[in-house]
Amino acid sequence: MADVVPPHVRSRMMAGIRGTDTRPELALRRGLHRLGFRFRLHDRKLPGKPDLVFPRYRAVLFAHGCYWHGHDCHLFRWPQTRQDFWRQKIERNREVDTRTERELTATGWRIGIVWECALKGRHRLPFDEVLNQCAAWLCSERSRMEIRGGAA
């Protein structure tokens, strides 16, 4: 199936997709800051440039978009056009995520992931619940946390 928009329009649309300061990331930042947590943003010294870095807790938090990271949820569907390109791209993103987690864990960092589906869509969780789970994890000794959308 051919693309429904001209190439120059598609290019402009794709250029508008942000890698940082996404809505889920900004919401988490505001909420956790309001709860008293202080953090650094996108620390380039760490593998994967985590969205939020909590040095005091030796923890990092990623706000993953379900589409770009190929999450198994209702927000993700394989594209119908240029399937080979998109499969390679999303599989590569998954490989990079796995490698990043391995490197961070090896250097003693704790890893938290909040999936986009936890914050939006038909299976989203109450935002205060997501914040409370993040806060509880930061104050705990658990090495890993993952928050995904609930089941219907």
Which residues touch 96 (CB under 8 Å, ≥6 apart)? 48
Is residue 53 a contact partner of residue 40, using CB atoms and an 8 Å limit?
yes
Domain residue spans in the chain? Answer: 18-147
Which among 87, 26, 77, 63 is positioned nearest to 148, based on CA atoms? 63
Closest CA to 130 of 143, 142, 144, 120: 120
- CATH says 18-147 is which class? alpha beta
Helix (H, G, I), strand (E, B) or coil at 115: strand
Q: Which residues 6+ apart lie within 8 Å of 142 measured at CB?
A: 110
pTM of the entire predicted model = 0.86
Percent of the residues in the chain that have a pLDDT greater than 90, as a whole number = 72
pLDDT tens sequence across 88-132: 999 999 999 999 999 999 999 999 999 999 999 899 999 999 999
